[in-house]
Chains A and B, each alone.
Chain A
Amino acid sequence: MDIRVDYYPTHEQSGYKFRRGRPLPFGATTVPNGVNFSICSSAATACSLALFHKGEQEPFAEIPFPEEFRLGDVYSMIVFDLDYENLEYAFRIDGPWDPIVGHRFDKTKFLCDPYARVIAGRDVWLSKPNWDGKYQHRARLAFDDFDWENDKALEIPLEDLVIYEMHVRGFTAHPSSAVSYAGTYAAIRQKIPYLKELGINCIELLPIFEFDEWENNRIHPDTGELLINYWGYSTLGFFAPKAGYAATGKFGMQVDELKTLVKELHAAGIEVILDVVYNHTAEGDQRGPTISFRGIDNRKYYMLTPEGYYYNFSGTGNTFNCNHPVVRNLVLDSLRYWASEYHIDGFRFDLAAILGRDQNGAPLANPPLLEALANDPVLAKCKLIAEAWDAGGLYQVGSFPAYGRWAEWNGKYRDSVRKFIKSEPGLVPELANRIQGSPDLYFQRGPTATINFITCHDGFTLRDLVSYDYKHNYSNGENNNDGGNDNDSWNCGYEGETSNEEVNRLRLRLSKNALVLLMISRGVPMILMGDEIGRTQRGNNNAYCHDNDISWMDWTLVEKSNDLFRFSKQIIKFRHDHPVLRGRSYFYGRDYVESGLPDISFHGTQAWNCDYSPGSRCFSFLLSGKHAKDGTANDQDIYVGLNMYWDGLPFQLPEPSMGSQWRVAVNTGMQSPYDIYDSAEAPLLENQREVIIGARSIVVLIAS
């Protein structure tokens, strides 16, 4: 092979040949016959590169960067003839130890590359690491030669998505999952037929950036076992996939395994959104370990108080300094890497309000990071979803700086729908907004700005929402003090599991009501893993520390909760079947296609008369099918009657479009199989003028 002159070594140290490197890109990049290493630090006085054989404690070589290899704040060098497959590398950086001004350099520490694409050290889930190791989280090289064939991101329009939020391990770790390699990326591939059967077209994975599952020092109060970090909201490296989620993690092949998963999901028509955590890192506060950022450029990577301590807007000890230009570029580089190298379809940003704070923590009117992400050409078709609040009290639901791109987890949708379902009065005006895609919050942005959800990983599952008045987090080791107290849940008369059939029937009905509301609301619905089969966490509303049947999906429920599973599949299909439910813009409340009906109209027990009063617990609305997709698609008229009152009520019906009659698609007051019908088989409603809607039930009619 011809080697260009700039790829010849110029230096040598104890047998290792190297030369001046290229400052960009940062991280470790393979070049002809060598590897280019590049790292920046604004206050370092010296930097060296340590090279390790896989898993060994002592480096086999350590090469100080000669002064002439530094350009600005960047140290770079190409090292030749390395064994890529067996190589692990670290940096050691010298500089001042002066915490008051923010410097915490420590040249004795081996530091992981912020751009490491593979991080070894926690290769197999919960296998005991070497706690005394001097280099715990070990940077390795990754190769970009995956065979993607024709795969690319699916670019399904946001309004057509049905998102399924799930945990890589929890989805298949339960023995009932009946897959090989349970709890891994590889195992999810075997469950693709299930996801297809359910009908979702997007999965959102809880964090899969490398983290340390051992990061927890609390004890299970009953078993005495160490609790763990099961959720993984604690990033070690923003470019490396979690090795312990890969069946091949011990061979360092997690990159290939995850890419194969994405490729096969895409082939099945399912998008992949990653839950990404850029608001803090795993280094904690001043008492935490020095893994990477703290020892490289503490003052740059973290928001610091005037005394040099860590601001804690994330609730985890530190706050990543996302609007520092260098850090901002790291975030952007990371997202571009996942979008281009892993074909990821979108991102959900944990505690995203932090991404809009300045370097002292004050909220910015025009946050450069959020603007950069919204306008980035590589990310142009990626979904960008904000969790629009943080642990520092910044709550931006409805006001998150969106730049025409960002969607939000709609916390207000969750709260008001929960209250409505448990029959709180006075919610009709609010619900009227929520089912329209919350125009009161997102009028300028449109309904694709709202990710509608009732449950997510954080809080009760749907089953527990209708089974518990209070959280039951004793097993989290904090005397039940952790987890939220404002759950808006209702136990239906008995706290916890019961054999009382009446209670269980009510719970099932309320669960179906929740699913109907989600699927008929304008916006983007998201359901939580297992809610379709009644998964319980036994009242635990903060299961971050449990790698057991509290947090795992119990696959025997597919059979046991067959009634709910059937209903879930059918109601998701109903959404896919009816474009009038999936509009990209807001309703106008008038007839703009001369159909004889306004695009949306509100009713109640009397047609054309909606009771918005403080005591009201019921209302109904009619969607005109001819207005589907702004009048560009033709659909059936749909009538939704919601009665959260504790007695059945007659609802006088508005007339559907000329020449059509009402048919019953859904009635949660009926038992299976009369609770839901395929739209093509919906039975004719006998009395076209009135429908009786049972206590705490929802009826959906379609006109044909």
Chain B
Amino acid sequence: MALDISSEVIGKSAHVTLSGELDSSTAPSVRQIVDKVLADSPINLILHLENLSFMASAGLRILIFAKQKAPDLKVYVVKPQETILETLRKTGFYSGVYVVDEAPVV
């Protein structure tokens, strides 16, 4: 399955944009990217998921990983599709992230 990943760091915010499907085969590369942007000690991790159609548990684990590595990090999930939102709600990760319609201006 295809996944496009792009990232940039603007000020204290790290932006990661994912489109396609985030499953166990594509998760390691996402994790590498998240690892890389966290090295700059951002305050916000902003995940743009508007065009992400699927996220397996491996994807959720990246969120946990980011939160554990940087406990004060604010994780924003921008415009997730309904299926991904559902997964976040059911597993309870919803309460650990900010789900927003637009990337916060920081």
Contacts and interface: CB of A to CB of B under 8 A. Distances in A.
Interface residues of B, number: 20
B23 A256 contact: no
Contacts, number: 57
A186 B93 CA distance: 11
Contacts of A180: 89
B64 A248 contact: no
Given A85-B56, A186-B89, A260-B91, A147 B61 contact: no
Interface of B is mostly: helix
Nearest to B92: A260
Contacts of A257: 90-92
A232 interface: no
A258 B68 CA distance: 19
Interface in A64-87: 83-86
Given A147-B64, A251-B56, A264 B90 contact: no
A236 to B, nearest CB: 21
Contact of B23 (A85, A146, A248, A252): A85
Contacts of B53: none
Contacts of B90: 181, 184, 186, 246-248, 253, 257
A256 to B, nearest CB: 5
B61 A264 contact: no
B84 to A, nearest CB: 11
B61 A248 contact: no
B25 interface: yes
B25 A83 contact: yes
A256 B65 contact: no
A257 B60 CA distance: 12
Contacts of A189: 92
A16 interface: no
A264 B92 CA distance: 9
A253 B57 CA distance: 7
B67 interface: yes
A189 B91 CA distance: 11
Interface size class of A (residues with CB under 8 A): 20 to 34
B58 interface: yes
B87 A248 contact: yes
Contact of A85 (B58, B67, B68, B87): B58
Interface string A463-503: 00000000000000000000000000000000000000000
**Most A CB within 10 A of own CB, among B24, B57, B67, B90:** B90
Nearest to A83: B24
Contacts of A181: 90
Contact of B65 (A85, A145, A247): A145
Given A83-B25, A85-B24, A147-B96, A253 B61 contact: no
A143 interface: yes
Nearest to B68: A147
Given A83-B24, A145-B64, A186-B89, 6 more contacts: A145-B65, A247-B90, A252-B57, A253-B60, A253-B87, A253-B90
12 contacts: A85-B23, A85-B57, A85-B58, A86-B24, A145-B64, A181-B90, A186-B90, A251-B87, A253-B91, A256-B92, A257-B90, A263-B92
Sorted from nearest, which 9 A-B pairs have the closest CB atoms? A260-B92, A85-B24, A247-B90, A256-B91, A186-B90, A248-B90, A147-B64, A253-B57, A257-B91
